[in-house]
Structure 1
């Protein structure tokens, strides 16, 4: 009995001496949305989107003015030539709308590409951070609930965000 007790006590002592795996987590949404580089990308594309919208509005107003002028000249649009002019104007406006849609899609595509690259960079940074700081795991929390609870002391979001933003300044 005494030997069994000593063996059990030895096992307990050995297991308590083992180093626990270091685990932390980050709030993915906060990490990405508060990263200064992402804010810079969004600001850059917002300028591009604003310029695009001004162009669309300006051309739209020009077409509306032309259409109003045509209707003013011939309110009943009875003449064949007036109808043809109006249809030509409508077709031209439709071509511009298609061009606008293509430009808008291109802006969205470029923006998404840069955000995707940014996310890959963040993942790589978190991996390096974990390796350098002795973490066995760094989990990501998100709305889907991959980390439903974590002790606040294990939340690395601010530390990693500060390190990411500091790296950007260098």
Structure 2
């Protein structure tokens, strides 16, 4: 009986050690730095450049309207002394209405720019999330954490950081489309 106890305990010990390392490998905790992925993703740069051009065009339209209004205001100031009371009131009302319309237009443009920026950002985040999910499935990870610099992950060793690997593969995937 003693002869069987030693080999069984050795086998049990080896099995325990093997299962410990096997489960450690399978449940390895990894993460990606979300901010680095967003900043380094080539699609982000592409989409933001398109967005910036559109936003600058919209802002230029508002600026142009403001310059026109300011010129009308200067003209009004110059000819003010030669206008009758009714003409003054009418001109002031027209200038006031035009200023209000420009302010409303400017607010609408700012809202549109903000909404489009959120839409572009969300599209990029969705793209990254989909890729990380697929990467995790294809490479056998059970969990990939996302660190955003706001305290989600306070410490992790460099071996747990998949950011560079995923960013390289994500950009290659984007360029291949």
* TM-score, normalisation: structure 1: 0.87
* Aligned residue pairs, count: 169
CA 1:7–1:142: 2 relative to 1, 3 Å: farther
How far 1:143 sits from its partner (Å)? Answer: 2.2
Give the deviation of 1:134 after TM superposition: 1.6
Query: 2 CA distance for matches of 1:133 and 1:16?
Result: 24
Tell me, what secondary structure is at the counterpart of 1:74?
helix
User: CA–CA distance in 2 between the matches of 1:6 and 1:142?
Assistant: 51
Q: How does 1:13-162 map to 2 (within 5 A)?
A: 13-18=14-19, 19=22, 20=24, 21-75=27-81, 79-162=85-168
- Distance in 1 (alpha carbons) for counterparts of 2:64 and 2:108: 18
CA distance in 2, matches of 1:47, 1:122: 24
Deviations 1:122-150 (A, max 9, x none): 11110110111121221111222111111
Q: Deviations over 1:2-33 (max 9, x none)?
A: 89987765544323212122331101111112
Mapped partners of 1:92, 1:117: distance in 2:
37
Distance 1:68 1:13, change over 3 A: same
* Conservation of the 8 A alpha-carbon contact between 1:26 and 1:157: yes
- Closer, same or farther in 2 for the Cα pair 1:70/1:5, shift >3 Å? farther
Q: Which runs of 5+ in 1 are unaligned?
A: none
Cα–Cα, structure 1 residues 89 and 130, in superposed 2: closer, same or farther, change >3 Å? same
124-133 vs 93-102, which moves further: 93-102
Shift in alpha-carbon separation, 1:86–1:8, aligned structure 2, 3 A: farther
Aligned partner of residue 159 in structure 2, secondary structure: helix
Q: Which runs of 5+ in 2 are unaligned?
A: none
